[in-house]
Amino acid sequence: MDEITITRLGHRGDGIADGPVFAPMTLPGEVVSGKLDGDRLRDLRIVTPSDDRVSAPCRHYKSCGGCQLQHASDAFVADWKIDVVRQALAAQGLTAEFRPIVTSRPQARRRASLSVRRTKKGAMAGFHAKGSDVIIQIPDCKLLHPDLLAAIPVAEKLALIGGSRKGELNVLATLSETGLDIAVSDGKPLDEALRLALSAETETHKLARLSWDDEVIGQREPPLQRFGKALVAPPPGAFLQATPDGEAALLATVQEIVGSAAQVADLFSGCGTFALPLAERAEVHAVESDAAMIAALDLGWRRAKGLKMVSHEARDLFRRPLMPDELRRFDAVVIDPPRAGAEAQVRELAESEVSVVAFVSCNPVTFARDVRILADASYRLNWVQVVDQFRWSAHVELVAFLTRENV
């Protein structure tokens, strides 16, 4: 058995010792022993525990790969996630004021991607084990909203109907205001018999909607999500913030940054998470590459009452970013890119005269890279709000407030 001392956590939440050697479910300062397998320590035993170590609240934690940090205190995780962002900024020569972190409650997740497989005796649904393709069942999950756990037996039944013994079914389950919204991928090809069987399951389980490889099979009611005063039915599999708590924290921060701006651009707008609530006080132009999401946003805006004008366009901002002359009319810009960041759009924003930017990010590394571009163009990074929407995970989200210094 090898004995090592953990010096830090990596970005995926694993403890790291000199070497480097990676040890899951460990904390800085802990002395641990185990069998060295390449650069990973297996069969771990904690010799000297950290003061920040706590008992995991979920009985599935040791085997399930859905969470990485249930063994750490909330205070430790909060400080660590803020430090992840701080270090990413420091690598770009940047500093910022950090506001206190906002963390989603346990059992708040309204969306989950379930792995499902047929077995000799039936089917099983859950999350993968840590570092494995083995499916771990999660009947007492402390991450998912209790109402979302109802998707597990639905997913297992769908696997029996349309899954293959040779592969996994992926079932994306989302809570909506009208019931469960289920989107399935990697199942059997659709034929008439499968369509009929799936349609019957929509009624049996009273699903709001069931789609199979992006084709809607059955819809009892539109699977509505509320964005401010608007109700929106996103297309199957469309992006949605993972928890209502996290969404509310991100939105409140964006609204604070935008303030009294009369003309706002919402870039990478999705189905209107920010654009529609912002339209209660400002005219908004929403830009998103997915035409179906833009159509859902537009319909939600048209049916809502008391909103100002929301214009929109389906546009790939990686290939066709808004140019400085197009940005000229906006008092503020909200930008919420995917993990790859928004380097092309940010370079055009840096050349614009926009005075206020609310930068939402789910990747501290690409965020810091993009903010460096803005900082070089006389934007000031005023403060950062870290949001721990994915509780007990290594995932970090944030909103940053930037202003142009010469305006």
Active-site residue list: 362
Tell me how crowded residue 381 is: count the other CB atoms within 10 A of its CB: 21
Distance from C-alpha of 42 to C-alpha of 38, rounded to nearest angstrom: 10
Between the alpha carbon of residue 198 and those of residues 34, 114, 193, 208, the distances in Å are 48, 18, 9, 13
The single-letter DSSP state of residue 173 is E
Long-range contacts made by residues 316-321, C-beta under 8 angstroms, separation at least 24?
Answer: 316/289, 317/267, 317/268, 317/287, 317/289, 317/342, 317/344, 317/345, 318/289, 318/342, 318/344, 318/345, 319/344, 321/345, 321/347, 321/348, 321/349
Q: Which amino acid is at 173?
A: A
Between the alpha carbon of residue 64 and those of residues 114, 165, 353, the distances in Å are 12, 22, 49
Terminus-to-terminus CA distance in the chain, angstroms?
A: 62
Tokens of 330: 């906006």
Q: How far is CA 243 from the centre of its chain?
A: 9
Tell me how crowded residue 347 is: count the other CB atoms within 10 A of its CB: 14
Q: Which candidate, 337, 392, 332, 391, places its Cα nearest to that of 364?
A: 337
Q: Which residues contact 72 (CB under 8 A, 6 or more apart)?
A: 27, 52, 53, 54, 80
Tokens of 67: 């969470």
Tell me how crowded residue 58 is: count the other CB atoms within 10 A of its CB: 18
Distance from C-alpha of 66 to C-alpha of 386, rounded to nearest angstrom: 21
E strands present in 92-241? 97-98, 102-103, 111-118, 123-128, 135-137, 169-176, 179-185, 209-212, 215-219, 225-227, 230-232
**Helices (H), ranges, 163-310:** 192-204, 244-258, 275-278, 291-303
